Amino acid sequence: MALSEEKVKELLSDVYDPELHVDIVSIGLIYEVKISEDNDVYVKMTLTYPGCPFGPAIVEEVEEKLKESGNARNVKVDVTFEPPWNPDMMDQDVRAALGIGK
Protein backbone atom coordinates (compact mmCIF):
# COMPACT_ATOMS: atom_id res chain seq x y z
CA MET A 1 0.00 0.00 0.00
CA ALA A 2 1.41 3.37 -1.02
CA LEU A 3 1.57 6.14 1.51
CA SER A 4 0.39 9.66 0.79
CA GLU A 5 1.18 12.96 2.48
CA GLU A 6 -2.39 12.99 3.77
CA LYS A 7 -2.00 9.52 5.31
CA VAL A 8 1.33 10.46 6.92
CA LYS A 9 -0.23 13.56 8.47
CA GLU A 10 -3.18 11.48 9.64
CA LEU A 11 -0.77 9.10 11.40
CA LEU A 12 1.16 12.00 12.90
CA SER A 13 -2.02 13.58 14.23
CA ASP A 14 -1.75 10.93 16.96
CA VAL A 15 1.53 12.47 18.18
CA TYR A 16 0.94 15.12 20.82
CA ASP A 17 3.04 17.97 22.10
CA PRO A 18 3.24 17.15 25.83
CA GLU A 19 3.17 20.81 26.88
CA LEU A 20 0.29 22.03 24.72
CA HIS A 21 -1.63 18.72 24.68
CA VAL A 22 -2.38 19.22 20.98
CA ASP A 23 -1.28 17.07 18.06
CA ILE A 24 1.84 18.16 16.19
CA VAL A 25 0.03 18.48 12.85
CA SER A 26 -2.62 20.88 14.19
CA ILE A 27 -0.05 23.11 15.87
CA GLY A 28 1.97 23.38 12.67
CA LEU A 29 5.12 21.48 13.57
CA ILE A 30 5.17 19.48 10.32
CA TYR A 31 6.78 21.54 7.56
CA GLU A 32 7.26 18.96 4.81
CA VAL A 33 6.50 15.34 3.97
CA LYS A 34 8.10 13.45 1.08
CA ILE A 35 7.41 9.85 0.15
CA SER A 36 9.49 7.89 -2.35
CA GLU A 37 8.08 5.26 -4.70
CA ASP A 38 9.46 2.65 -2.28
CA ASN A 39 7.60 4.23 0.68
CA ASP A 40 10.67 5.80 2.25
CA VAL A 41 9.29 8.72 4.26
CA TYR A 42 11.04 12.02 4.91
CA VAL A 43 9.56 14.45 7.43
CA LYS A 44 10.86 17.96 8.00
CA MET A 45 9.51 19.35 11.23
CA THR A 46 10.16 21.83 13.96
CA LEU A 47 9.54 22.16 17.67
CA THR A 48 7.82 24.98 19.51
CA TYR A 49 11.25 26.25 20.63
CA PRO A 50 14.86 25.10 20.17
CA GLY A 51 15.41 24.05 23.80
CA CYS A 52 12.23 21.98 24.00
CA PRO A 53 13.03 19.17 26.46
CA PHE A 54 10.47 16.91 24.75
CA GLY A 55 12.04 17.30 21.30
CA PRO A 56 13.87 13.96 21.16
CA ALA A 57 10.80 12.09 22.45
CA ILE A 58 8.54 13.76 19.88
CA VAL A 59 10.92 12.91 17.03
CA GLU A 60 11.15 9.32 18.25
CA GLU A 61 7.37 9.06 18.40
CA VAL A 62 7.07 10.42 14.85
CA GLU A 63 9.48 7.73 13.63
CA GLU A 64 7.67 5.00 15.57
CA LYS A 65 4.19 6.01 14.35
CA LEU A 66 5.29 5.85 10.73
CA LYS A 67 7.19 2.58 11.12
CA GLU A 68 4.30 0.99 13.07
CA SER A 69 1.94 1.83 10.20
CA GLY A 70 3.54 -1.06 8.33
CA ASN A 71 3.66 1.02 5.19
CA ALA A 72 6.80 3.10 5.70
CA ARG A 73 9.98 1.31 4.69
CA ASN A 74 12.51 3.82 6.03
CA VAL A 75 11.80 6.98 7.99
CA LYS A 76 14.01 10.05 8.23
CA VAL A 77 13.05 13.01 10.39
CA ASP A 78 14.89 16.33 10.14
CA VAL A 79 14.29 18.98 12.78
CA THR A 80 14.73 22.57 11.68
CA PHE A 81 14.15 25.93 13.27
CA GLU A 82 13.95 27.83 9.98
CA PRO A 83 11.47 29.30 9.89
CA PRO A 84 10.99 29.41 13.64
CA TRP A 85 7.64 28.11 14.84
CA ASN A 86 5.09 30.63 16.07
CA PRO A 87 1.46 30.35 17.20
CA ASP A 88 0.22 31.69 13.85
CA MET A 89 1.18 28.30 12.38
CA MET A 90 -1.54 26.60 14.43
CA ASP A 91 -4.85 25.54 12.98
CA GLN A 92 -7.39 28.33 13.62
CA ASP A 93 -9.65 26.08 15.68
CA VAL A 94 -6.73 25.07 17.90
CA ARG A 95 -5.72 28.71 18.42
CA ALA A 96 -9.29 29.52 19.40
CA ALA A 97 -9.49 26.55 21.79
CA LEU A 98 -6.24 27.62 23.45
CA GLY A 99 -7.40 31.22 23.66
CA ILE A 100 -4.73 32.53 21.31
CA GLY A 101 -5.86 35.54 19.25
CA LYS A 102 -6.85 35.80 15.58
Kindly list the structural domains of the chain, giving each domain's residue range(s) and its CATH number in brackets, ordered by start.
5-94 (3.30.300.130)
| Segment (H or E) for 17 | strand 16-17
- Under 8 Å CB-to-CB from 8, ≥6 apart: which residues? 33, 35, 41, 43, 66
- In this prediction, residue 32 has a pLDDT band, given cuts at 50, 70 and 90, of very high
Prediction pTM value: 0.91
Query: What percentage of residues in the chain have a pLDDT greater than 70?
Result: 97
Query: What percentage of residues in the chain have a pLDDT greater than 90?
Result: 73
